[in-house]
Amino acid sequence: MSLNTEKIRALVDKREEARLGGGEKRIDAQHEKGKLTARERINLLLDEGSFEEYDMFVTHRTFSFGLDKEKYYSDGVVTGRGTIDGRIVFVFSQDFTVFGGSLSETFALKICKIIDQAMKIGAPVIGLNDSGGARIQEGVRSLAGYAEIFQRNILASGVVPQISAIFGPCAGGAVYSPALTDFITMTERTSYMFVTGPKVVQTVTGEIISTEDLGGANVHATKSGITHFLTETEEEGILLIRKLISYLPQNNLEDPPVIKNTDPIDRLEDSLNEIIPDNPNKPYNVKDVIRLTVDGGDFLEIQRNYAKNIVIGFARYNGRPVGIVANQPMFLAGVLDIDASRKAARFVRFCDAFNISLVTFVDVPGFLPGSSQEYGGIIIHGAKLLYAYGEATVPKVTITLRKSYGGAHDVMSCKQLRGDMNYAWPTAEIAVMGAKGAIEVLEGRNIAKIESDEEKSKYIQAKESEYIEKFANPYQAAKYGFIDDIIEPRNTRFRIIRALEALSTKKEMNPPKKHCNIPL
């Protein structure tokens, strides 16, 4: 055997060793937990044969606590680039079979390298997280490694899309890298996130709580809103990431990919003419409106289990990706509260950062009243959504379906917040408030003077009818040019598509500044 052949053989052997991570026993243990290995996840995520690995032969640099006798190639994280549907992405996948996926100095440097490369090239970054946290044996160097990653997450924000998948533990400082990215997905039963674990919580506060109840996937999908997607399996989560990427541009200087559309742009949906109930207090499902108007009824909803009174997600009109925001009358009558405002504001800002047009369906009776909302800062949180719409320079198309009352009307992409095309259905009610509240304010003194309950009731009904006739329609707003047109509901798809096509060359700039000061 020649010297060259021996060297090549040695290279092949080292690659095989690196691909085994922490060894067969630990791989088996990973599978027994219902989890995939780091490399299995990458292979499922990327197009077949497209993965190019970086830093396969990196090892840690620690000699303390006997670590000098235990080294593994790749050092607990697999990094590299590949393609999804032919488009380049950068990926890192934490390997729980090597030191429990704990982060070392070299582990961090590997992640930093691919984020730096992604920003140079202009390609999305996908992180597959499954880590026990900082590698304690490395002390402050491990903490410094986290901070190096955080800094890159911050600089990459708004430059390239960043997506995080939590496929195992993610605790302590490790949670802040996913939190700085654009989208997070978690899996039921096998993933969790928290700053401090159950044992520390019990020691400090006396509260006894399980890992699942403290930071499980369901908690973050329903209570905190930390995760944007919840899946039953890792495979489902990875396929969801592939779908999500299909709506996004490579970077902030490109437009999202337009695909061929086979759904007729002039498709009429007669059912939309009847979808708004005659009773203004009766709900309907706004997701039906969305699915009946978008291409093929295909809508990728985001944070579906959190703040259900507002709906956000991605869809396409004539093959063009858009971000959709819609009030949901099925929950809390579609009011805006703290959680809904935060949820929608963050989504609007993401779409604006990455040149994704916004389509807004409005049916909002106002902001949720009450001391808990006021004490929780509804003013500042509601201002976030107001700010996000006003700051956005992407094409904005707004359709008012039914109620649009008070300050909430302003917040939901109104004409004065630079809405480009503002349409209304004939069922729209655009006013300062509903008839009942308005009459109580406007006619309170006159009502008080009427002694007979029957006469009082007749007077209130007459005044409410007068108010409804005057304001419970879109023609007042249209008269002042605040609504560009009143459209037949069944034509909504066609009108949105025509508006987006007209706005495809829109150019609008905000005043030059270092950065804005959004009300946080």
Q: What is the arithmetic mean of pLDDT over 412-435?
A: 93
- Assess contact for 395 and 418: CB atoms under 8 A: no
Question: Phi, psi at residue 361, to the nearest 5°?
Answer: -105, 120
The predicted structure's pLDDT at residue 160: 98
The predicted structure's pLDDT at residue 470: 79
Task: For residue 225, give every residue at least 6 positions away whose Cβ sits within 8 Å of its Cβ, in sequence order, or none.
Answer: 303, 306, 307, 339, 342, 343
Domain boundary assignment for the chain: 3-245, 270-433+472-505, 435-471
The predicted structure's pLDDT at residue 1: 64
* 40-84 per-position pLDDT tens digit: 999 999 999 999 999 998 887 777 776 777 788 888 899 999 999
Sign of the C-alpha dihedral computed for residues 411, 412, 418 and 422 taken in this order: negative
Residue 452: pLDDT above 90? no
The two domains 3-245 and 270-433+472-505 share their CATH topology (first three levels equal): yes
Question: To which H or E segment does residue 301 belong?
Answer: strand 300-302
Q: What is the arithmetic mean of pLDDT over 197-217?
A: 93
The predicted structure's pLDDT at residue 70: 78
CB-based burial label for 343 (10 Å; 0-12, 13-18, 19+):
buried
| Domain 3-245 coded CATH 3.40.50.300 | no
Architecture of domain 270-433+472-505: Alpha-Beta Complex (3.90)
Instruction: Write down the pTM of the prediction.
Output: 0.95
Q: How many CA atoms lie within 13 A of 327 on its CB side?
A: 30
Least confident segment among 94-108, 375-389, 435-449: 435-449
Q: What is the arithmetic mean of pLDDT over 130-151?
A: 90
Instruction: Report residue 446 CA to chain centroid gap.
Output: 50
Residue bearing tokens 């190639």: 73
Residue bearing tokens 């979808």: 275
| pLDDT band, residue 437 (cuts 50/70/90) | confident
Write the DSSP assignment of 474-497 as a string of letters: SHHHHHTTSSSEE--GGGHHHHHH
The predicted structure's pLDDT at residue 482: 95
Please state, in angstroms and rounded to a whole number, the distance separating the CA atoms of residues 78 and 74: 6
- Average pLDDT of the chain is 93
* 266-325 per-position pLDDT tens digit: 999 999 999 999 988 899 999 999 999 999 999 999 999 999 999 999 999 999 999 999
| pLDDT band, residue 190 (cuts 50/70/90) | very high
**Residues with a known catalytic role:** 172-173, 407-408
Task: For residue 166, give every residue at least 6 positions away whose Cβ sits within 8 Å of its Cβ, in sequence order, or none.
Answer: 129, 130, 178, 184, 185, 186, 187, 191, 192, 193, 217, 227
To the nearest whole percent, how much of the chain has pLDDT over 70?
100
Length of the chain (residues): 520
Pull the structure tokens for residue 452.
């007979």
- Assess contact for 374 and 405: CB atoms under 8 A: no
